[in-house]
Amino acid sequence: MSALLIKYSQLTRALVRNDEGMSTIEYAMGSLAAAALAGVLYMVINGGGVVDAIEGIITDALSNTPS
């Protein structure tokens, strides 16, 4: 009986540790999320509001003289 439990335990551990295929879907989901984030950031940065704000900050910094 003890030998049977040991074999069952070893088999169970081997099956639990075996996660083939998981890394592929994890990489795919991570790549998809990164591409979506890059697309959103691209749209935000190329929008007029961000460019105008950056230009305003730079213009203010260059036109103000220390007193």
CA dihedral sign, ordered 38, 43, 49, 54: positive
pLDDT for residue 37: 96
For the chain, which residues make up each domain, given as ranges? 1-63
> What pLDDT digit, counting tens, does each position of 27-44 carry?
889 899 999 999 999 998
pLDDT for residue 31: 92
pLDDT in tens, the chain (67 residues): 688 778 777 777 776 666 666 677 888 898 999 999 999 999 988 888 888 888 999 999 999 776 5
Written as one letter, the residue type at 51 is V
User: Average per-residue pLDDT in the chain?
Assistant: 82
Q: How many angstroms separate the CA atoms of 46 and 50, rounded?
A: 7
